[in-house]
């Protein structure tokens, strides 16, 4: 493999220089070259990730020289084109093309760029954590055994959330406090507790990934087979750097942490294929082999001590624990455990396409795709193991399209696609930590019973599904310079896992494009989607207080059967996926001259999902304008402004339901 890689990398150099030596003399009159050099500078006064996410001038603030070269050589039936751009070691592109009497065509490229990644400070999860006593203002008031403060002096805001809101039932006076013991004449509502909090473990880190890609593509046409062209593509991509890795400790407060993950990925693609033209019929076949490897070390996490879900979390799971219907696999005593693991994978893909050109501007296209991916998986010794070390995913797709033009003003396209995805189910073998038993343990329905229940569940794949898509698109010329487009698509996704069910989508599209004058063009578009059963999480929230047995009616979070009596009684579905979408766009472009044009646009998108217990809504408004001006032939100026306003609404939030 190493010899092959070296040869493939050296090959562009050989091809680049060999033609020059063969026809340099004949091509002396066909030589064109452009050399540009200068300086490039970048100054950033804020976050470089916001203004230079994909580096195009420099990868960091400063000044450096840069160079660009364009080269074109032709002669003796051979053409060679090349261009090179170098800004710095992490921002460069190099390309070359060679054409030998149109029987051999080859292109080569090498690109390097740096991608600055986001750094989540995780400081927005602290809204429900009660503030320390020093944060309260005013004179403390003794209420029974409690210490409280007047709410009028301690306004509750997203940045100030006390543990309890207390009301005097006789006078209506309200107080705030961080702890509360029931007292006659007062009612208390718990509004804050440290069940969700975030911690950035690398607050000063800058995350970025440098991407380097070698790519070559060649086409060969043999004189003996003039209608057949052979293709070969090689691609090698390396991604190196550091990205943020988010983790969380459970069975305690939801402690969300941000660490770092080393990225050292390599992707290698080899693609071969052939295209044949036989009269009205064109056939194409291609095969791709991909190898993906992650050489970077996996990040590790030491989890917080686990707590049993009993009232006020009085002890850890080994001493005085309350039983619940889940089992703990690990805690802090296991030390650093791997998480956020990127598996190695192997992919094979076959693609067959056929195109038939028929009379009356009618075209038929058919395709078949077969892809298999093997992904390496592994467990953690002593914690859990899997019944297989590879997960296989297969994909088969059959597609077809017919385009006809029955009249000069009307074009109709009918299309269809059938897809089948299959993914292995996996059996997981858990090695749980010991837990102290209690008298009621295992006697409630759905609760774990050590002697009868299995600790080796099967993870059923949510990927496995059958997808069918059909559509009809029309283009009709209403008048000179005015065109109307109409389209309809139906998509059915039938998942094998009945828990998530079947999703049916109806989509209607309509647009009108017009050019009323030589200088003005306009477009108006509308898109509507109706989605039956979008992907969501059933029974994810909302426990009716009338169905919660004591002591939950007065204290949420206590009792020996917390998991069964509380979590298993949730009734509300949650989703951030819409079941209806309305989207409209309007665009106008004015070009009074060849040196000036301006475009104004407005886009609105209304999304909604009527869930079984609530409604999720999201609205997006995005107007904008752009100006283009070319004062001279080789200079142009572009100015653009875009405004986006997006509002989302849901009936569930952290303040109501911690975590």
What pLDDT score does 122 carry?
87
CB-count exposure of residue 599 (10 Å: 0-12, 13-18, 19+):
middle
Same domain, 96 and 148: no
What pLDDT score does 58 carry?
72
How far, in Å, CA of 659 to CA of 397, rounded?
40
Residue 551: inside a domain: no
What pLDDT score does 322 carry?
46
How far, in Å, CA of 235 to CA of 216, rounded?
7
Same domain, 24 and 77: yes
Summarised one tens digit per residue, pLDDT across range 318-338 is 444 444 445 667 777 788 899
Full domain range(s) for residue 85: 2-32+62-105
Tell if the pTM clears 0.85, that is, is over it: no
Same domain, 134 and 169: yes
Same domain, 20 and 67: yes
What pLDDT score does 368 carry?
98
What pLDDT score does 108 carry?
96
Neighbours of 130 (CB within 10 A): 20
Residue 25: inside a domain: yes
What pLDDT score does 468 carry?
98
Residue 647: inside a domain: no
How far, in Å, CA of 231 to CA of 269, rounded?
14
Residue among 223, 222, 234 nearest 274 (CA): 222
Beta strands per DSSP E along 192-295: 196-200, 208-220, 228-249, 254-278, 281-294
Q: What six digits make up the tokens of 155?
A: 């306004």
Same domain, 141 and 87: no
Residue 97: inside a domain: yes
What pLDDT score does 245 carry?
95
What pLDDT score does 270 carry?
98
How far, in Å, CA of 82 to CA of 589, rounded?
35
Residue 28: inside a domain: yes
Among the candidates 164, 192, 220, a domain finishes at 192
Among the candidates 174, 192, 210, a domain finishes at 192
Same domain, 72 and 148: no
What pLDDT score does 123 carry?
80
DSSP 481-500: TEEEEEEEEEEEEEES-TTT
Residue 137: inside a domain: yes
Summarised one tens digit per residue, pLDDT across range 520-569 is 999 999 999 999 988 888 888 877 655 444 443 334 444 445 555 666 77
Residue among 638, 576, 552, 646 nearest 604 (CA): 646
Residue 94: inside a domain: yes
Query: Among residues of the chain, what percentage have pLDDT more than 90?
Result: 51
Backbone angles phi, psi at 88, to 5 degrees: -160, -175
Same domain, 77 and 161: no
pLDDT along the chain (659 residues), means of 10: 31 36 52 86 75 73 85 88 89 93 93 91 74 84 92 82 87 89 85 74 91 96 92 97 91 83 97 96 98 94 69 39 56 85 96 94 96 93 88 97 94 97 92 52 39 67 94 95 97 88 94 95 98 87 58 43 63 90 98 96 96 92 96 88 92 52
Same domain, 77 and 21: yes
Q: How many domains does the chain have?
A: 2
Q: Are 312 and 286 in contact (CB under 8 A)?
A: no
Same domain, 18 and 89: yes
What pLDDT score does 254 carry?
78
Nearest-Å Rg of the Cα atoms of the chain is 32
Summarised one tens digit per residue, pLDDT across range 412-461 is 999 999 999 999 999 998 877 655 444 333 333 334 444 444 578 888 88
What pLDDT score does 60 carry?
75
Residue among 263, 283, 259, 261 nearest 273 (CA): 283
Residue 307: inside a domain: no
């Amino acid at each position: 493999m190493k010899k092959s890689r070296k040869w493939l990398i050296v090959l562009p150099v050989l091809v680049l220089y060999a033609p020059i030596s063969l026809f340099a003399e004949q091509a002396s009159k066909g030589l064109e070259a452009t050399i540009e050099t200068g300086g490039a500078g970048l100054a950033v006064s804020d976050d470089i990730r916001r203004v230079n996410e994909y580096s195009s001038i420099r990868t960091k603030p400063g000044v450096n020289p840069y160079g660009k070269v364009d080269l074109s050589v032709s002669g003796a039936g051979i053409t060679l084109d090349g261009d090179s751009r170098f800004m710095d070691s992490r921002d460069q592109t190099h390309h070359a093309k060679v054409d030998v009497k149109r029987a051999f065509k080859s292109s080569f490229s090498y690109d390097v760029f740096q991608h600055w990644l986001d750094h989540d400070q995780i400081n927005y999860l602290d809204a429900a954590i009660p503030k320390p006593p020093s944060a309260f203002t005013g004179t403390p008031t003794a209420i029974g055994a409690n210490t409280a403060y007047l709410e009028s002096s301690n306004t509750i805001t997203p940045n100030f959330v006390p543990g309890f809101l207390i009301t005097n039932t006789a006078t209506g006076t309200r107080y705030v406090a961080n702890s509360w013991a029931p007292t006659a004449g007062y009612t208390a509502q718990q509004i804050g507790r440290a069940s969700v909090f975030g911690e950035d473990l690398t607050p000063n880190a800058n995350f970025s990934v440098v991407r380097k890609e070698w790519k070559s593509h060649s086409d060969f046409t043999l004189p003996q087979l003039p209608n057949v062209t052979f293709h070969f593509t090689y691609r090698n991509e390396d991604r190196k750097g550091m990205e943020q890795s988010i983790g969380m400790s459970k069975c305690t407060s939801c402690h969300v942490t941000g660490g770092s993950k080393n990225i050292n990925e390599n992707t290698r693609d080899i693609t071969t294929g052939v295209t044949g033209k036989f009269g009205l019929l064109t056939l194409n076949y291609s095969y791709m082999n991909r190898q993906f490897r992650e050489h970077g070390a996996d990040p590790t996490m030491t989890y917080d001590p686990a707590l049993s879900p009993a009232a006020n979390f009085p002890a850890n799971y080994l001493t005085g624990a309350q039983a619940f219907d889940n089992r703990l696999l690990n805690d802090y005593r296991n030390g650093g455990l791997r998480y956020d693991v990127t598996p190695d994978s192997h992919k094979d893909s076959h693609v067959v396409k056929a195109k038939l050109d028929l009379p009356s501007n009618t075209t038929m296209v058919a395709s078949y795709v077969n892809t298999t991916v093997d992904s390496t998986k592994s467990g953690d010794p002593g914690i859990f193991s899997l019944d297989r070390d590879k997960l296989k995913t297969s994909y088969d797709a059959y597609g077809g399209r017919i385009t006809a033009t029955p009249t000069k003003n009307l074009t109709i396209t009918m299309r269809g696609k059938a897809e089948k995805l299959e993914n292995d189910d996996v059996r997981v073998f858990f090695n749980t930590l010991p837990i102290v038993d209690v008298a009621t343990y295992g006697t409630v329905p759905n609760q774990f019973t050590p002697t009868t229940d299995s600790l080796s569940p099967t993870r059923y794949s949510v990927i496995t599904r059958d997808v069918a898509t059909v559509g009809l698109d029309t283009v009709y010329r209403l008048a000179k310079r005015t065109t109307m487009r109409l389209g309809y698509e139906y998509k059915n996704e039938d998942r094998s896992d009945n828990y998530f069910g079947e999703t049916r989508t109806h989509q209607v599209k309509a647009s009108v494009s017009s050019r009323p004058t030589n200088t003005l063009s306009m477009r108006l578009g509308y898109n509507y989607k109706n989605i039956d059963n979008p992907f969501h999480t059933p029974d994810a929230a909302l426990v009716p207080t009338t169905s919660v047995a004591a002591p939950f009616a007065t204290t949420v979070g206590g009792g020996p059967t917390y998991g069964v009596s509380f979590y298993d009684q949730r009734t509300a579905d949650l989703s951030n996926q819409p079941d209806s979408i309305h989207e409209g766009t309007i665009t106008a472009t004015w070009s009074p001259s060849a040196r000036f044009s301006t475009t104004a646009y407005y886009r609105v998108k209304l999304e909604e999902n009527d869930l079984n217990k609530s409604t999720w809504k999201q609205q997006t408004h995005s107007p904008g304008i752009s100006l283009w001006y070319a004062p001279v032939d080789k200079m142009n100026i572009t100015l653009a402004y875009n405004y986006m306003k997006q509002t989302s609404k849901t009936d569930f939030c952290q303040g109501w339901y911690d975590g």
